[in-house]
Amino acid sequence: MKILKIIGIALLAIIIIGAIAASMQPGDAHTEQSIVINASPATIYQELNGFKTFSKWSPWAKMDPNATYTFEGPESGVGAKMSWKSEKWNVGNGAQWVEESIENKKVKNGLTFEGQPGTSYATFVLEPMGDGTTVTWMYDGKNEGMMGKAMWMMMSGMMNDVYIQGLSDLKAYVESLPPAPADSTVVNP
């Protein structure tokens, strides 16, 4: 009987410590990772400004090659949308769309996940770096209530790993492509 009491106290302590740790998580979730890709911002931007080639580098496409995708709106730019359905828990069901697009500099995608409230955002920022481009991939969302904070506590490390893998795969994919044509925009002095 004494052993059950010790196990019960230990479990209660674990629950209390977990609740305290979860309550200390921020209300806003944020993570970001960066990589230098040996390609111009224009070449990378073409790949990020829509979802046509998303499955060629996406870490989630690797997690479930059998996921189904549907596309709506324009092929690229603001309004391009991709929805997905997956039987795998780590991919799930959801949608993302291009919400903001600044040519060769930034693409901001809105994200919704089935069963989770609100909209999250994945943003790619492109900065020229010598002959290449620094690509920073950011995730921003809300940690709704204690459950949201507890989920973020468990998911934040995984998100960092997934973003690192995704950027590495984006680098390999983009560096295998022919360069994009030079920007033809003429700026008057």
In the chain, % helix, strand, coil (3-state, to 5) comes to 35, 30, 30
Residue 81 dihedral angles phi and psi, to the nearest 5°: -140, 145
* pLDDT value, residue 188: 40
Contact 29, 140 (CB under 8 A): yes
Lowest mean pLDDT among 51-60, 153-162, 177-186: 177-186
Burial of 120 per CB tally in 10 Å (0-12, 13-18, 19+): middle
Q: Which residue ranges make up each domain of the chain?
A: 2-175
Rounded mean pLDDT, 23-32: 66
Band (179; pLDDT cuts 50, 70, 90):
low
Q: Kindly report, residue by residue over 71-112, the tens digit of the pLDDT.
A: 999 999 999 999 999 998 888 899 999 999 999 999 999 999
As a CATH number, domain 2-175 is 3.30.530.20
Q: How far, in Å, CA of 48 to CA of 50, rounded?
A: 6
From the CA atom positions of the chain, what is the Rg in Å?
20
Q: How far, in Å, CA of 107 to CA of 14, rounded?
A: 42
* pLDDT value, residue 23: 52
Instruction: For residue 76, give the amino acid letter.
Output: S
Rounded mean pLDDT, 17-31: 59
How high does pLDDT run on average in the chain? 82
Q: How many CB atoms lie within 10 A of CB 3?
A: 7
* pLDDT value, residue 184: 44
Q: Of residues 96 and 21, which shows the higher confidence score?
A: 96
* pLDDT value, residue 185: 44
Q: Kindly report, residue by residue over 134-178, the tens digit of the pLDDT.
A: 999 998 886 665 555 455 455 656 777 888 999 999 999 999 987
Question: CA quadruple 49, 170, 29, 95: dihedral positive or negative?
Answer: positive
